[in-house]
Structure 1
Amino acid sequence: MAKLLYSATMSLDGFIAGPGGDMSWLTDYLGPNPTMEAATEEIGALLIGNRTFRGDDPLKGTENEGEPFGGGWSGPQFVLTHHVPATPVPGITFVTDLASGVAASKEAAGGSYVNVLGADVAQQCLAAGELDEILVCVAPVLLGDGVRLFTHPGGATTRLERLGLTSASQETNIRLRVVR
């Protein structure tokens, strides 16, 4: 059965996007990263939050704009949203609740990982007991404000077990398992 993996590049102060969802900061850190490239090969489907799907793209204006992992991955994509567009989007399946999104993306992934993209949907998966692993690529930058990797004021402590720690040209990669 597929596992859910939340992956993101994060600033040292804990933000995955700048104020207003700005992703332009990330372009300086989109270099070779063997850990992320290996993880991408393990992905069978994506479960994407609506704000991430409709949000800023660090590859805006390039030939890889709108392509998952800069064009380094293709496969089934499921977007969790309360507002399904009237016009279908090629290659995208819209789901309206977490349970059906998780079920559909796991089925599509087969024995591979479902990669969760978006802080809010990752938090929902964690709260529902569905999130299995987290891969954080820590970039050497302080954003000061924006969208946090996780945020749950007053939330419960979640234990994590380190599975791996590697370095790329500019980032430090931490892979963790959610301890249940």
Structure 2
Amino acid sequence: MAKMLYSVTMSLDGFIAGPDGDMSWLADYLGPNPEVEGLIGDIGALLVGRRTYGGDDPHRGTEKEGKAFGGGWDGPQFVLTHHAPDRPVPGVTFVGDIDGAVAASKAAAGEKYVNILGADIARQCVEIGALDEVLVCIAPVMIGDGVRLFDHPGGTHVKLERLSVSQAPLATNLWMRVVR
């Protein structure tokens, strides 16, 4: 059965996007990362939040714009939204509830990972007990404001177990498992 993995690049001060979802800061830190490159072949499906799906792209203005992992991955994508577009998008399924989105993406992923993209959808997966692992690539920058890696007003306690720590030229990678 597929595992649910939240993978993301984060600034040292805990932000995954700048104010208003700005991703331009990330462009300077999209370099070679063996951990991520090894992961890509193990991803069977993406589960994406609506703001992430329709949001800013660190590859804006390049041939990699709009492509998952800059074009390094291709496969089924599931977008959690209450407002699906009128026209179908090839390879993208729009789902209206978190339970349905998790079930559909896991079925599509088979024995591989469902890679979660977006802080809010990751938080929702935590709330329903669906998140299995977290891979955070920490970029050597502080951006000061924006979208946090994990934000749960009122707080919540999610115990994690470190699986690995690795270095890449432009990031330090922390891979964790959710302890149940």
- Please report the TM-score for the alignment, with normalisation by the length of structure 1: 0.99
Aligned to 1:14: 14
Matched, 1:109 2:125: no
1:7-37 CA-partner distances (Å, limit 9, x unpaired): 0000000000000100000000000000011
Amino acid at match of 1:22: D
Matched, 1:38 2:29: no
Aligned to 1:138: 138
SS of the equivalent of 1:131 reads coil
Displacement of 1:115 after TM fit?
0.2
Give distance in 2, aligned partners of 1:172 and 1:179.
Answer: 22
Give distance in 2, aligned partners of 1:158 and 1:92.
Answer: 30
Aligned to 1:88: 88
Amino acid at match of 1:132: D
1:21-68 CA-partner distances (Å, limit 9, x unpaired): 000000000000000111111100000000000000000111111000
Alpha-carbon RMSD across the aligned residues, in angstroms, is 0.6
Instruction: Give me the identity figure in percent.
Output: 67
Displacement of 1:153 after TM fit?
2.1
Aligned to 1:70: 70
Matched, 1:100 2:100: yes
Matched, 1:159 2:144: no
Q: Which consecutive segments of 4 or more residues in structure 1 shift more than 4 A?
A: none
Amino acid at match of 1:175: W
Displacement of 1:118 after TM fit?
0.2
Give distance in 2, aligned partners of 1:90 and 1:156.
Answer: 37
Give distance in 1, aligned partners of 2:88 and 2:157.
Answer: 39
Give distance in 1, aligned partners of 2:122 and 2:37.
Answer: 21
- Pairs aligned (count): 180
Give distance in 1, aligned partners of 2:170 and 2:116.
Answer: 23
Give distance in 1, aligned partners of 2:46 and 2:170.
Answer: 25
Give distance in 1, aligned partners of 2:100 and 2:11.
Answer: 32
Aligned to 2:123: 123
Displacement of 1:91 after TM fit?
1.4
Give distance in 1, aligned partners of 2:159 and 2:9.
Answer: 20
Aligned to 2:59: 59
Displacement of 1:155 after TM fit?
2.1
Displacement of 1:159 after TM fit?
0.5
1:42-97 CA-partner distances (Å, limit 9, x unpaired): 10000000000000000011111100000000000000001011111121100000
Structure 1 gaps, min length 5: none
SS of the equivalent of 1:35 reads helix
- Please report the TM-score for the alignment, with normalisation by the length of structure 2: 0.99
Give distance in 1, aligned partners of 2:33 and 2:156.
Answer: 32
SS of the equivalent of 1:155 reads coil
